[in-house]
Chains A and B, each alone.
Chain A
Amino acid sequence: MKKEFKVIADLLTNNTRVLDIGCGDGSLMHLLRIEKNIEVRGLELNQDNVKKCIYKGLPVIQGNAETELHQFPDKSFDYVVLSQTLQAFYEPEKVLKNLLRIGKSVIISIPNFGYWKVRIKLLLFGEMPVTKTLPNTWYNTPNLHMCTIKDLFNFCDEKNIIIKKVVGVNENKTSLIRKNNLEIKNLFSKVGIFLVS
């Protein structure tokens, strides 16, 4: 999702150090390096994706974010980015804690389970939602801990994680999410992007 990467890039300051967890084929890292002169590092589980990053000259470590984040020292990055994978971890809370340890700030994006089409699918049809952002069916989805923008918002509040900025994305439109528009944005955003520390 190109738009999401653009939003993430806009949240980041130039010339910083960024760790991209689950960096895929390195598209975001490439964008950040070219457009913002950011020193990027990636962590990726899939061998093919690791190879793709290496071909692009992007530094990437093959490994599992669930079990291998201990290798990164405290506050060794200005930002740690986690794009649409928080919900796929066995222990998202533990992972998030680690991200906050490694990065001075953390950017998390989530597919929003509160999006109206998702709600309707479950409410009216009684079926687990399958959408463009959530393309898998219940039996093969990697997503173990689906949440809504509101859920993550409340979670941060509860755990004393400072929310600096939240951006909602729907196709090509983006909007700032605050406490006063949370209910409505939670209904109309496909993806939520959180900048926290």
Chain B
Amino acid sequence: MPSLAGLFFWMNIKLENIKKLDVTKPLKLECGKTIKDFPIAYETYGKLNDNKDNAILVFHALTGDQFVTGTNPITNKEGWWVTAVGAGRAIDTNKYFVICANVIGGCMGSFGPKDINPVTKKPYGLDFPVITIKDMVKAQESLLEHLGIKKLLCATGGSMGGMQLLQFCATFPDKAFSAVPIACSSSHSAQNIALNELARQAIMADPVWDNGKYVLKNSQPKNGLAVARMVGHISYLSEKGMQEKFGRKLQEKADYEFSFNADFQVESYLRHQGYAFVERFDANSILYITRAMDYFDLSKQFKGGLVEAFKNQKTKFLIISFSSDWLYTTKDNKDIVIALNASGADVSYSEIVTDKGHDSFLLDEPEFLKTLKGFIDSMYEKFKNEKRI
């Protein structure tokens, strides 16, 4: 296995070869600072048709990136949403033009804390401005402009991707003909914030983190970051799902070892997930992105609450939740539906019954994928007709 420093060097070389848009237009961030001339890394799949009415924007979740499907050229692993996006899949790339951008604050080529600060000529680290979901969404809007897309057929995303989508619809009410927010929430609950804080504290407690300055030494607080990832993975599974998957099964051994090695399969799983993650993600990015999620509160932005956020909404919504998701519950999702109903918006809602927890939106969950496909295909027919008239 190559050393971590070597791995990052090699990753950075690869990152130079991915699609990037240099956003020259200044972007005033919610924290008060302004950024300009910053990169947005993105990927597209399928072809934009002549009428430009088949574009679908996908917003990625906390640890996702722009490589939705196919093989991620940086990690050489499968894209994070191969179950839903691809030729012949629910979001069919033979038919639709799929766009996904890496969020700002991220680490897959978009402007983030490991970028070089032009003033100090060193990576930003914690000098990177605190960004919000709204900032992420505004930055991505520049990409649509660049691609010449006036109105999206659909925008979708799960988890933090869903939050970005809600923000996108509230900020740009006529940019998407339809929208499918999946397993998300209009604001982070105390429990959501607590779990994110646990992840951040794990990173910060790692001495290698060194107030975010590890980037100067080309290292990574991998122990802390791995624990942060383990916290996440627990929250993505349901109790029942975890019990069925692992139970009390032992990891390749007949009996207890009477040690602190990974005796149980669930321990081994968490360790594997945690340490695989440090090879592809930046610890400071986790701090910044989880912060953005915690600050997200759509009703706070609009005086008068969530109903006000969706006022005059022309976008047709389909909200999807999963019955065993305890991170962003059915109730969280239904609250969005209630607000959309109260604002008179065109909204559909479906709760998919599954034991797979929050992770369901990334998995091959047939009922979910069929519903997603049915909605997008029917919206395409409508959008085409509307454009013709």
Contact = CB atoms under 8 A, between A and B. Distances in A.
Contacts of B353: 47
Interface in A34-55: 41, 47, 50-51, 53-55
B30 interface: no
Nearest to B338: A71
B349 A51 contact: no
Contacts of B351: 47, 62
A129 interface: no
B344 A76 contact: yes
B365 to A, nearest CB: 13
A71 B347 CA distance: 12
B318 A54 contact: yes
Interface string B347-389: 1111111000000000000010011001101110110000000
Q: Which residue among B337, B350, B381 has the maximum number of chain A CB atoms within 10 Å of its CB?
A: B350
Given A71-B337, A72-B341, A57 B378 contact: yes
B370 A51 contact: yes
B316 interface: yes
A173 to B, nearest CB: 36
A62 B379 CA distance: 19
Nearest to A42: B348
Interface in B234-277: none
A60 interface: yes
A62 B320 CA distance: 10
A14 B343 CA distance: 22
Interface in A105-130: none
A135 interface: no
Binding site of B, secondary structure by majority: helix, strand, loop or mixed?
helix
A23 to B, nearest CB: 11
Given A56-B378, A57-B379, A57-B382, A50 B341 contact: no
Contact of B348 (A60, A73, A76): A60
Interface in B323-359: 334, 337-338, 341-342, 344, 346-353
A76 B344 CA distance: 8
A92 interface: no
Contact of A54 (B338, B344, B371, B381): B371
Contacts of A57: 375, 378-379, 381-382
Interface of A is mostly: mixed
B162 to A, nearest CB: 17
A71 B307 CA distance: 12
Contact of B342 (A55, A60, A63, A73): A73
A51 B346 CA distance: 16
A54 B341 contact: no
Interface in A5-58: 41, 47, 50-51, 53-58
Contacts of B370: 51
Contacts of A50: 348, 350, 371
B348 A59 contact: yes
B316 A55 contact: no
Contacts of A51: 350, 367, 370-371, 374
Given A63-B349, A71-B338, A54 B375 contact: yes
Nearest to A55: B374
A59 B337 CA distance: 12
A193 B350 CA distance: 30
A59 B341 contact: no
Contacts of A58: 348
B316 A59 contact: yes
B149 to A, nearest CB: 22
A63 B377 CA distance: 23
B341 A62 contact: no
A147 interface: no
Contacts of B346: 41, 59
Contacts of A55: 374, 377-378
A59 B347 contact: yes
A61 B341 CA distance: 10
A42 to B, nearest CB: 9
A47 B367 contact: yes
A61 B350 CA distance: 6
Given A47-B367, A76-B341, A54 B348 contact: yes
A47 B348 CA distance: 12
Nearest to A19: B341
Interface in A63-84: 63, 71-73, 76
Interface of B: 316, 318, 334, 337-338, 341-342, 344, 346-353, 367, 370-371, 374-375, 377-379, 381-382
26 contacts: A50-B350, A50-B371, A51-B350, A51-B367, A51-B370, A51-B371, A51-B374, A54-B348, A54-B350, A54-B375, A56-B378, A59-B346, A60-B349, A61-B337, A61-B348, A61-B349, A62-B349, A62-B350, A71-B334, A71-B337, A71-B341, A71-B342, A73-B341, A76-B341, A76-B342, A76-B344
What 5 A-B pairs are tightest by C-beta distance, nearest first? Answer: A57-B378, A55-B374, A71-B338, A61-B349, A54-B374
Given A54-B318, A62-B349, 16 more contacts: A47-B350, A50-B350, A51-B350, A51-B367, A54-B348, A54-B374, A54-B378, A57-B378, A59-B316, A59-B346, A60-B348, A60-B349, A61-B337, A71-B341, A73-B342, A76-B341
